[in-house]
Structure 1
Amino acid sequence: MCAMFIDYDDVITISDMMEILAIGRNKAYDLLRSGQIKSFKIGKAYRIPKTCIEEYVLSKVK
């Protein structure tokens, strides 16, 4: 696991994801809705496995 994620739980909230990736709310929801970052919902709230954030970041490396 990447060191940038060490302070976060294994499953994070959208707010955590926004902080990790330094993005706004609209971009965060776009990434989730498009499937670029995998997630699941509990009720109306998205939950994102931390490993899915890492996979997304690594997929952007050229």
Structure 2
Amino acid sequence: MAGPLETPDTSTGSAAPRSIDPLLLKVEEAAHLLSIGRTRVYDLLRLNELRSVKVFGSRRIPRAAVEEYVNKLMEEAA
């Protein structure tokens, strides 16, 4: 049986699990994706440069917010 972040791979007929990218990231995961430190992510959140949500008291960053932030950086650099 597949776990909460896995689905069976039906494209090859194999029952091997395939991971699903999470929609909400922990601060550490967002930092890893952005290649910056955890403290810098908290700075971006504090400055409203990066959107986040609270889920039962835990801060989570939507994957789309990370992509929006990177797109904004690219537009500013152009």
Q: TM-score, normalised by structure 2?
A: 0.64
Structure 1 stretches of 5 or more lacking a match? Answer: 1-6
Aligned residues: 55
Q: Deviating runs (4+, > 4 A) in structure 1?
A: none
| The structure with more helix, counted as a fraction of residues | 1
Structure with bigger RCO (C-alpha 8 Å, 6+ apart): 1
Q: Which sections of structure 2, spanning at least 5 residues, go unmatched?
A: 1-19
RMSD: 1.3
Q: 2:51 aligns with which of 30, 38, 44?
A: 38
Q: Identical aligned pairs, as a percentage? A: 35
Q: How far does the alpha carbon of each residue in 1:1-53 deviate from its partner, in whole angstroms, 9 at most, with x for none?
A: xxxxxx7311111010010001112101000111100001231x210110000
Q: TM-score, with normalisation over the residues of structure 1?
A: 0.79
Q: Which has the higher strand share?
A: 2
Q: Quick check: which has more Rg, 1 or 2?
A: 2
